């Protein structure tokens, strides 16, 4: 019977970057960048639609998980602003207001010109209201009215401001 040879730990082999894209993925941000670069628009759309479908079906935890996965793979993709918004919505409807607030803020920070920006700003005000952050909610809702006058979000903000004022009286 032979005795096994002890295994020696060696330094990893570090190689220069490939000149052409590889089909393998790295770790973390590198993986997301590689995936986004190599993936096709149809796959991006399929992943987004699957997450949105879970949301529409009321499977909020599943939707949140899918939107998070989508955003890791396509952080700057065509549907990334919407994915941030619907991720926030999935948390908002489950009363995870602080996490929802973070998702809506991320949308505004990363994609301030998105068509979802007015809705995200309104939802920030709603989250602040639910967290009983009265002064912040009032300031945010007034900001919605100032930035988007004569819009649905402005009317919704006015309604929530009325509720806020009644709440503060009690």
C-alpha to C-alpha distance for 91 and 102, rounded to whole angstroms: 10
Q: Provide the residue range defining the domain that includes 123.
A: 116-170
Residue 19 has pLDDT above 80, yes or no: no
Residue 134 falls within a domain, yes or no?
yes
Of 136, 39, 43, 51, the closest CA to residue 85 belongs to 51
Contact 103, 87 (CB under 8 A): yes
Helices (H), the chain: 29-38, 41-56, 60-73, 80-92, 97-110, 117-130, 134-147, 152-169
Q: 101 by DSSP, 3-state: which?
A: helix
- Is 78 within a domain? yes
Residues 133 and 166 in one domain: yes
CA pair distance 96, 90, nearest whole angstrom: 9
Between 12-16, 68-72, 127-131, 146-150, the lowest mean confidence (pLDDT) is in: 12-16
Does position 18 have pLDDT exceeding 60, yes or no? no
In this predicted model, which residue has the larger pLDDT, 1 or 56? 56
What is the overall mean pLDDT for the chain? 84
**CA distance readout (Å), 132 to 1, 52, 111, 154:** 74, 29, 27, 20
| CATH code: domain of residue 100 | 1.25.40.10
Tens digits of per-residue pLDDT, 81-109?
A: 999 999 999 999 999 999 999 999 999 99
Q: What is the pLDDT of residues 22-50, one digit of tens each?
A: 444 444 444 444 444 456 799 999 999 99
The count of domains in the chain is: 2
Residues 73 and 139 in one domain: no
Q: What is the pTM of this model?
A: 0.76
Residue 102 in domain: yes
The two three-digit tokens of residue 81, written as one number: 């602003």
Query: 96 and 121, same structural domain?
Result: no
> Has residue 123 been placed in a domain?
yes
Which has more confidence, 4 or 169? 169
């Amino acid at each position: 019977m032979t005795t096994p040879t002890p295994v020696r730990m060696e330094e990893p082999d570090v190689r220069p970057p490939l000149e052409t894209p590889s089909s393998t993925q790295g770790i973390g941000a590198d993986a997301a960048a590689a995936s986004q670069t190599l993936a096709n628009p149809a796959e991006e759309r399929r992943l987004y639609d699957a997450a949105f479908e879970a949301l529409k079906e009321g499977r909020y935890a599943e939707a949140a998980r899918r939107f998070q996965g989508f955003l890791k793979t396509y952080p700057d993709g065509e549907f990334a602003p919407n994915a941030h918004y619907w991720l926030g919505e999935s948390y908002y409807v489950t009363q995870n207001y602080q996490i929802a607030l973070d998702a809506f803020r991320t949308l505004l920070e990363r994609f301030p010109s998105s068509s979802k920006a007015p809705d995200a700003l309104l939802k920030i005000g709603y989250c602040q209201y639910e967290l009983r952050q009265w002064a912040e909610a009032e300031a945010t809702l007034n900001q919605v009215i100032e930035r988007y006058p004569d819009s649905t979000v402005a009317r919704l903000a006015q309604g929530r401001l009325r509720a806020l004022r009644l709440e503060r009286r009690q």
